[in-house]
Chain A
Amino acid sequence: MSSARPKLMLCILAFLLFFTYTCGQASETTTTSTPTAAAGVRVVHVLGLEGVKRNHHGTLTVQASGLKFEAKSAHTTVAIASIEDVLTSQDSHQTGGKVLTVAKIGVPYGGGRVLSLFSREKVDSLTIAYRDSNGGLHGVIFSMPVGQADTLKKQLVALGARTSMPVESQPEKKDDGGNK
Chain B
Amino acid sequence: MNPTRVLPLTLRRIAGSALLLCLICVGLVPRGLGAETLAWSIQVEPVQAEEGQLPPDFTLAIYEDLLEQLAKAGTFQHVYRSGDRQAESVPHLLTVRMTLLNFERGNQTERAVTTVKGATKVQVHMKIASRKGNVLVEKDVQGTVRLFGENLKATYSLAKHIADTLRDASIPAPTPQ
**Residues on A close to B: CB < 8 A?**
46-48, 85, 87, 89, 91-94, 101, 104, 112-114, 116-117, 120, 125, 127, 129, 131-132, 134-141, 173, 175-178
Contacts and interface: CB of A to CB of B under 8 A. Distances in A.
30 contacts: A46-B61, A47-B61, A47-B65, A85-B56, A87-B57, A89-B55, A89-B56, A91-B151, A93-B108, A93-B150, A101-B148, A104-B112, A113-B112, A116-B112, A117-B113, A120-B108, A127-B56, A129-B56, A129-B60, A134-B85, A135-B85, A136-B81, A136-B83, A139-B63, A141-B57, A141-B61, A141-B152, A177-B107, A177-B109, A178-B107
Interface string B95-137: 0000000000101111011110010000000000000000000
A127 B108 contact: no
B138 interface: no
Contacts of A113: 112-115
Most buried by B among A114, A139, A177: A139
Nearest to B80: A136
Given A47-B152, A116-B112, A141-B60, 13 more contacts: A46-B152, A47-B64, A47-B65, A87-B57, A89-B57, A91-B150, A92-B108, A93-B108, A94-B112, A117-B113, A136-B84, A137-B83, A178-B107
A136 B88 CA distance: 12
B109 A117 contact: yes
Nearest to A123: B150
A127 B57 contact: yes
B77 interface: no
A134 B80 CA distance: 10
B177 interface: no
B46 interface: yes
Contacts, number: 90
A116 B56 contact: no
A63 B61 CA distance: 25
B2 interface: no
Contacts of A129: 56, 60
Q: Which 6 A-B pairs have the closest CB atoms?
A: A139-B60, A136-B81, A116-B112, A178-B109, A136-B84, A137-B82
A175 B150 CA distance: 12
B113 A127 contact: no
A85 B57 CA distance: 11
A135 B64 CA distance: 15
Contacts of A135: 83-85
A175 B105 contact: yes
A138 to B, nearest CB: 7
Contacts of A139: 46, 59-61, 63-64
Given A47-B64, A127-B60, A92 B84 contact: no
A113 B113 CA distance: 4
B11 to A, nearest CB: 50
A129 B65 CA distance: 14
B113 A116 contact: yes
B113 to A, nearest CB: 5
Contacts of B105: 175
B142 to A, nearest CB: 20
A141 B113 CA distance: 27
A117 to B, nearest CB: 6
Most buried by A among B60, B80, B150: B60
B175 interface: no
